[in-house]
Structure 1
């Protein structure tokens, strides 16, 4: 089969054959993965092709996600009735399917990944990536090199422009996608698991719950871009010590970012502010007052408020509210608990007030958010 000549509708049939367990070749799967991931330096098509060939993983997904089985069955019926699907229908199908197949932890298997994603308008990759706290175990780092990314988080929405690098923790709540005003968004990225050495180089300005961002000058951008490029070039040459080599590239990038920060305003979090943060995280369900939190930090209420605003860009209570809503989104995503139970676990006795706060910060009501997640699984 000359998969290079297939139209998008042909790739739908190929994917349905793979999921159905029909025999397909490695070249078939690579052609499909290249169609989905893009054919450009730094894409992850080869890793994705191996992923598509993992029969046990696919069967596990089908068991865990009945909605996915229904999605596949509906397109199979459509093909049988119509003879084929249109290219527009095919792209819609791949966007919907990708929401189920975005299992980054399984994909990485605890390893470092370095790559680039090119999000073109109306392509299979043109989708919203949505994360709630705890949905992944590793950290992500994303450098915009062209176009613009549209990020939504609890504290604010922001647009990532060329030279902006964003650090996303496993505790982050966020959505991101190609900004509607650009035809294409290219961003280099790495997915990794930091040890104690790396964490000291990750004290970036916080722009949202578990989200950190800085802008690179022209020279640091050129250097860091070349480090990403070297990293994904190395990924194509399997070797015994590939993992520590890729982690070394990540370390180098983080150190270069620290150099950039050292020329800007000092952002290291004051230990007393850190103590207040830790106390609030450990007591999210309690109605601790600002005086109690300040006492833990060894500061007056006024001193804590000033320091907190300086280091975090928001008030103490606004920061706690963000963490509460982030944890609530995790509970809504990972449990079947009722909204009122979720509200109590994050410190709200009034479920209606909790729903108003959640809607204001997240953009959806708790029930809408849970329904949205179920539609994507």
Structure 2
């Protein structure tokens, strides 16, 4: 059940009360901005971020640079910033306030098809919640993500990611055009299975049994739907998982290599450099220099 939304309690999860660093799978909070307040300034990240940010306006109006122009986000409107899209936003000057909920996240790979909405402006996806029930449901889901994210226990991250997945699915279900272009559900299921067994040396025959197709058919269908082979896709997911472990743990490179399915750390380092342009050690050092919110 989604958490009850209490805007006063949400202030405890705002930059007024704490600082944020974006060095994990997921970071979430609430930013209440009023005219002349401590938070009344523009965020400016010209190169965007490594992950996505999804934003829900609760009250007032925000002003967001979208390419070569500005857009305004109104109450009950949602924005989705993909990786690398510039962030330049703040309270709209004629609005008394701009209160908004936000979540920064690195998506699970099978979410990617759901993170394309029907309306895009300057690289920023946008949508409006259509009725009071949808608004209350979305606010409660954001609250659930924020609460789970703030707790440090064995299941908190998994619970937060579960609530975030429901946000993403709910938004995608509201996109009639994008829905028509969805990936075959059998391939989504297969992607989930591969990620759940990312360190295992799975064969095409084993994967085919998961979705009751022949090996040749599953190989053809996967490439048709994902524009790459199964094992090229798995390699990218292993690198994504390795990046997360480098960002969030103190594990050695050799331990991380094993955790994502590579017995030889040198081979893993070559694969990682091929995808990221730097070695795993260089990546970790660079990521540690990320600025706080």
- Name the TM tier (shorter chain): 0.5 to 0.7
Which residue number in structure 1 is paired with residue 94 of structure 2?
none
Structure with greater proportional helix content? 1
**Deviation digits for residues 45-91 of structure 1, max 9, x if unmatched?**
xx99984442xx35xxxxxxxxxxxxxxxxxxxxxxxxxxxxxxxxx
**Deviation digits for residues 200-252 of structure 1, max 9, x if unmatched?**
xxxxxx9966433436369x99xx95727x99xx9xxxxxx97547469x788
Shift of 1:177: 3.9
- The runs of 5 or more residues in structure 2 that have no matched partner are 1-9, 33-41, 57-63, 69-78, 91-99, 142-166
Which residue number in structure 2 is paired with residue 294 of structure 1?
208
**Deviation digits for residues 151-189 of structure 1, max 9, x if unmatched?**
xxxxxxxxxxxxxx8687xxxxxx42439xxxx799xx9
Gap change, CA 1:247 and 1:307, over 3 Å in 2: farther
2:232 aligned with 1:318 = yes
Q: Which ranges of 4 or more aligned residues in structure 1 deviate by more than 6 Å?
A: 47-50, 100-104, 206-209
Gap change, CA 1:49 and 1:351, over 3 Å in 2: same
Q: 1:216 aligns with which of 77, 95, 118?
A: 118
Alignment of 1:75-224 (within 5 A): 105=27, 107-108=29-30, 125-131=44-50, 140=54, 146-147=66-67, 175-178=83-86, 191=102, 210-212=111-113, 213-214=115-116, 216=118
Shift of 1:295: 2.9
Quick one: distance in 2 between partners of 1:101 and 1:327? 13
Structure with greater proportional strand content? 2
Gap change, CA 1:140 and 1:269, over 3 Å in 2: farther
Q: CA RMSD in A?
A: 5.0
Paired residue total = 216
Tell me: higher relative CO, structure 1 or 2? Use CA pairs within 8 A at least 6 residues apart.
2
TM-score normalised by L of structure 2:
0.54
Shift of 1:314: 2.0
Which residue number in structure 2 is paired with residue 331 of structure 1?
245
Shift of 1:99: 5.7
* 8 Å Cα contact 2:190/2:211 also seen in 1: yes
- The runs of 5 or more residues in structure 1 that have no matched partner are 1-46, 59-97, 114-122, 149-164, 169-174, 194-205, 235-240
Shift of 1:298: 2.2
Quick one: distance in 1 between partners of 2:239 and 2:24? 23
Gap change, CA 1:306 and 1:227, over 3 Å in 2: same
Report SS of the residue matched to 1:176: coil
TM-score normalised by L of structure 1:
0.44
Which residue number in structure 1 is paired with residue 154 of structure 2?
none
2:185 aligned with 1:270 = yes
Shift of 1:303: 0.3
Which residue number in structure 2 is paired with residue 260 of structure 1?
177
